[in-house]
């Protein structure tokens, strides 16, 4: 692969991650009413830096801290960062639904 094609792929990936970061920031602001959520901000920073690998590692390590976003941000993350199927987030999402359905009302 030529250096130019590789650079175009890298730029395309960075643009995709930056777009995901923008989407998550909108969700974050709506969900927290402008209050700071350090965990989401750290994820957004990794995405803006164009580092999908680091973002995925961070999500693996901090998955339990994203439960408040399961209705809105988690589906976006699954689709756009992991590409849908095969994502470890599907297992997490299933567990969150089970816990939610078992919790007393």
Q: What is the 3-state secondary structure (H, E, C) of 34-100?
A: CCCCHHHHHHHHHHHCCCHHHHHHHHHHHHHHHHHHCCCHHHHHHHHCCCCCCCHHHHHHHHHHHHH
Give the pLDDT score at 55: 94
| Dihedral sign computed on CA atoms, order 36, 67, 33, 45 | positive
Is residue 86 scored above 70 in pLDDT?
no
Average pLDDT over residues 4-11: 69
Identify the pLDDT of residue 60: 86
Please report which confidence band the pLDDT of residue 25 belongs to, taking 50, 70 and 90 as the band edges. very high
Query: Shortest CA distance to 59 belongs to which of 43, 80, 82?
Result: 43
Domain ranges of the chain: 3-102
Residue pair 61/54 in contact by the 8 Å Cβ criterion: no
Q: For the segment 35-63, what is each residue's pLDDT rounded down to a tens digit? A: 878 999 999 999 999 999 999 999 889 98
């Amino acid at each position: 692969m030529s250096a130019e094609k590789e650079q175009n792929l890298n730029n395309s990936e960075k643009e995709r991650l930056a777009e995901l970061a923008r989407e998550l920031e909108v969700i974050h602001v709506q969900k927290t009413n402008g209050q700071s959520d350090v965990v989401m901000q750290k994820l957004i920073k990794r995405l803006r830096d164009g580092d999908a690998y680091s973002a995925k590692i961070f999500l693996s390590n901090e998955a339990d801290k994203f439960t408040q976003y399961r209705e809105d941000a988690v589906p976006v993350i699954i689709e756009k960062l992991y590409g849908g199927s095969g994502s470890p987030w599907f297992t997490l999402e299933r567990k969150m639904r089970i816990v939610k359905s078992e919790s007393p009302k």
